[in-house]
Structure 1
Amino acid sequence: MIRTEAYGPVVKLQVARPVLGRPFYHTAAYWVDGLLVDTGCAHTAAEFVEATASLCVVQIVNTHSHEDHIGANGPLQRARGCRVLAHPDALAILADPRLQYLQPYRRFFWGWPQPSLGEAVGDWVETERYRFRVIPTPGHVAHHIALYEPRQGWLFSGDAYIGGRDVAARPDYDVGAIIASLKALAALPATRLFPGSGTVRDNPSEELMRKAAQMEAFGAEVRRLHGEGLSVGEIKRRLLGRETRLTYITAGHFSGTNLIRLYLDSRA
């Protein structure tokens, strides 16, 4: 399932795999001036290629190598001959996606991507009309990058920014690095935020700093309660309540317990 929406010259492609007739877990790709930022998941790859058939696609930039962001790389590269650019540390996974272990829920909802031939992205990505600065934004994954077009004020943040209150996390996130990346992005004079979730924002700095402050306050409370002698489980119940259904769908890979442990293991 793919829905498109235009924001001036930027086209958002909102991607989700239907499960029991309903879309599950939206992610977003963006097209502007021959550039695609991410390509969705493998289960929607054929539809993604069709949805972009009327668009000129010269190059793809992957914000990171997670399977819900690189899924149509291979089919698009074969069909259109486009370049694929990513952080150097992501290239091995693009070439052989099975180097990245996918838990059963990830295989079901997003699937194994087909291989693509990637190149190391430089400090800037240029299109015919625009010039995007490449910004390292580790935390969600170490090789995550964002793109910023300074003349237009566009910020494509991938999963460096995930809005709302966190109630669960994967065990491999680095919350300290996430907060630092949020603050680095908030310092940019951006006018529009295009995140991987697809919820476009017109107040980037405010949203990014709000999220960073929220995470810092949560971390401080986790450590305070831990200092009082509460266990991980007790802190989780006090601050988050019961685990969400995602914890059960993911067999515990995405959980509130993980979130508490991440803050206790971090200085954030």
Structure 2
Amino acid sequence: MSWEFREATGSLPIVGVVNTHWHEDHCGNNGLLQRVRGVKIQAHPLALPYLARPRLMGLQLYRRFVWGYPLPSQAEAVGPAIATRSHHFQVISTPGHSPDHVSLYEPERGWLFSGDAYVGGLSPVFCRDFNVYQIIASLKTLARLRARFLFTGSGHVVEWPQRALEAKIAYLEETQEKVLRSYKEGQGLQEIRRRVLGSEHWIRFVTLGHFSVANLVRAFLEDPESPVRAKESRM
């Protein structure tokens, strides 16, 4: 447990943890919280094997360098709702960033804890493990809640986040339309990337392609929900 985390949480009566998904930067303190403070940990059923056996994560070199493999933790499958002494949270499936991703919504206060289902900004950089069509669907699910406060996984708090969510949805859907139109015109992946999204990002080289601009184009063309894949399956 890092000294920053210990300092930030040492005086708090933490009795439970819900992981929005299994990624190492979101579950990294599970093991020590569980051992030191006996905290109950919950997550989507798909996340449980990764939390118990972190080596299943298969982290790329840059992730091992920045975060490393977390300690193992024994989590329970989260149900459709979580009740504390003061609040009741709805557990909402929001896949796309990862198949196991969940968000938490407290309707009385309008609190929405979105994990990485919503990542701020309109960057075209995309991870090859993400599913862009599921991300769009999950963003629409969150937008329908009309939350008052959005608590993101990066630590930012957005008050009245409707406009931000709708802007993200619009950006992705407009990009999808441009990518698919360019593909129908016979353009290749890198040509589509240049014409629709511009230059490649330096992070592609740091992550050895795990994150890149081209990945967003590839996702629109190759994810299971892609109209391109659907057309190919009918042939």
TM-score class normalised by the smaller sequence: over 0.9
What fraction of aligned residue pairs are identical, expressed as a percent?
A: 52
- 2: distance between equivalents of 1:63 and 1:46? 23
- 1: distance between equivalents of 2:20 and 2:104? 8
Alignment of 1:15-30 (within 5 A): none
Alignment of 1:27-106 (within 5 A): 45-106=2-63
- Confirm whether residue 267 of structure 1 aligns to residue 195 of structure 2: no
- 2: distance between equivalents of 1:132 and 1:218? 33
Out of 118, 122, 137, the position equivalent to 1:165 is 122
Out of 166, 170, 180, the position equivalent to 1:223 is 180
TM-score where L is the length of structure 2:
0.92
- 1: distance between equivalents of 2:7 and 2:76? 24
| Deviation (angstroms), 1:164 | 1.0
Gaps of 5+ in 1: 1-43
| Deviation (angstroms), 1:46 | 4.6
Contact 1:49 1:76 in 2 (8 A): no
Partner of 2:209: 252
- 2: distance between equivalents of 1:191 and 1:50? 29
| Deviation (angstroms), 1:225 | 1.1
Alignment of 1:58-207 (within 5 A): 58-207=15-164
RMSD: 1.3
- 1: distance between equivalents of 2:163 and 2:96? 20
- 1: distance between equivalents of 2:185 and 2:87? 53
- 2: distance between equivalents of 1:198 and 1:88? 25
- Confirm whether residue 213 of structure 1 aligns to residue 170 of structure 2: yes
The count of aligned residue pairs is: 225
Partner of 1:7: none
The structure that is strand-richer by fraction is 1
- Confirm whether residue 237 of structure 1 aligns to residue 200 of structure 2: no
- 2: distance between equivalents of 1:197 and 1:134? 19
TM-score where L is the length of structure 1:
0.81
Gaps of 5+ in 2: 228-235
